Amino acid sequence: MLYEDIIQMLEENADPKSLAGMARAGITPEQAYGVKIPVLRKIAKNLGRNSDLAKQLWAKNTRETMILACMIEDPKTITEEQMENWVMEFDYWEICDQCIMNLFDRTVFTNKKIFEWTKREEEYVKRAGFALIARVAWSDKSKSNEEILEFLPLIIREANDERNMVKKAVNWALRQIGKRNIILNKEAVKIAKEILNLESKSAKWIATDAIKELTSEAVLKRLNKQ
């Protein structure tokens, strides 16, 4: 399928009415067709991995072409420079999270970027770092408990960041660690209680929300069955 064919397909599936709903959810790209994620996944599946096409789609700079680029770029061949270039273009949460979940969480640079991006000042770069932690904690079954525990100091360090997109990602990372297994659950709850003692509103929200979920009957019942 050629680049022009993809653009035509996006135009045919455009839904301008959905853009208002996206905006209410904080999805605010400069340009968008309003195509829903399941449709984009179907297109990406038909395309397969294609690095050259991914770069071409990313350069188009619309919501849908950038998400498609994340879905078809090859995580085995993407360079660190390309990851850095793309992360600097994140300006709303959806493109950040889609790129993390479809691409950045499975590269040879993933762990390195967690430690680098979580200490960066740019809001969406920092969010990307914590979204990577959340994703790795949830899906990377090869990581040991010890490796996952190395992420907890990063969560404590950044828990005072009041920016909405950062604090939500910090909370997401903490909750995903705590839902991985019962051992990490206990460690995550312990860290959450430490964060609760911090002075900032963001820290107290992060901790309170995480403790509520991680000590819930549903979560503990699932973990104790593992």
Together in a domain, 87 and 146: no
- Residue 74: domain span: 1-92
Together in a domain, 126 and 85: no
Where b means 16+ CB within 10 Å and e means fewer, 194-206 reads: ebbeeeeebbebb
Together in a domain, 71 and 131: no
User: Is 101 within a domain?
Assistant: no
Number of domains in the chain: 2
Together in a domain, 142 and 206: yes
Together in a domain, 198 and 126: yes
pLDDT of residue 20: 85
pLDDT in tens, 52-102: 999 999 999 999 999 999 999 999 999 999 999 999 999 999 999 999 999
Together in a domain, 69 and 18: yes
Together in a domain, 71 and 143: no
Work out the mean pLDDT of the chain and round it to a whole number.
96
pLDDT of residue 159: 98
Query: Across residues 129-157, what is the average pLDDT?
Result: 97
User: Is 31 within a domain?
Assistant: yes
User: Is 97 within a domain?
Assistant: no
CATH, residue 182: 1.25.10.10
Query: Across residues 111-121, what is the average pLDDT?
Result: 98
pLDDT of residue 48: 95
Query: Across residues 4-23, what is the average pLDDT?
Result: 91
User: Is 150 within a domain?
Assistant: yes
pLDDT in tens, 144-177: 999 999 999 999 999 999 999 999 999 999 999 9
Together in a domain, 130 and 169: yes
